[in-house]
Structure 1
Amino acid sequence: MGNLSIETAMLYVVIWTSVRYLGIALCNMPITNAGMSAIPVEIAGYASALNNWARQSIASLSIALFSALLAYRSAKYMSGGASIQASEATAAGDVFLYSMLPLIVALPLVLLLRKEKRVNR
């Protein structure tokens, strides 16, 4: 999605956006399960509320940051002489590329997650 331009077919965008959101949907439950399984049962309610709050807050912050980045990059391309449609398409591709940075940072951290064997007492 980082190569979006004015010539990009709508079917391309629909398919890759669907794949992206399917991946997000399939990741949310295992991530939540891994985090909540490390929490003692006594404070699971607090941890669940904090998890939901953090997830929604970060999602809202991400939308705001990426919307601002989209507007900035679009204005930058328009000041360079591109049309409105071309500058918005190219700026959207830039936003997808920038959104890949947290993923690149998070991937090595996944390797630190390992399942500890629990001892039944």
Structure 2
Amino acid sequence: MGLFNFFKKSKILIDTSKPCNYADICSYDEAEQYYQAGQLGKLYLIGLTFGGDDSPVNTLYAPHDAVVQKEAIDHHIESQLREGLKLQYRAFPEYKGNSFIPSRILIEIDGDKTYTEEIEIW
């Protein structure tokens, strides 16, 4: 063990064969393990279609049905942009406790049309 290895956090291995409890997933590494096991999906705050990227800053982990809801909202916004509407988009994840998995995502659309979408996760 090197002198500075003391300061490194060891990666926590979780049993992904059990269903995930969102309240207990408190880190990126834990969420990534559930993603790799197929229990969570990647949800992009700024959709890849709109120039968002697959970086930790833009990526949330969520149940697959929430990912599908977000993709449907993004598709609807995209169709409105193709119709020529000028829109501004903001997404705000909300969390409970120390969980890394958002409990809800609030999406606000302003411009030629103004509306709010919510994705309830847990």
The answer to whether the superposition gives a TM-score over 0.5 is: no
Q: Which is richer in helix?
A: 1
Query: If you compute each CA radius of gyration, which structure gives the higher value, 1 or 2?
Result: 1
TM-score, normalised to structure 1, is 0.30
Q: Which is richer in strand?
A: 2
TM-score, normalised to structure 2, is 0.29
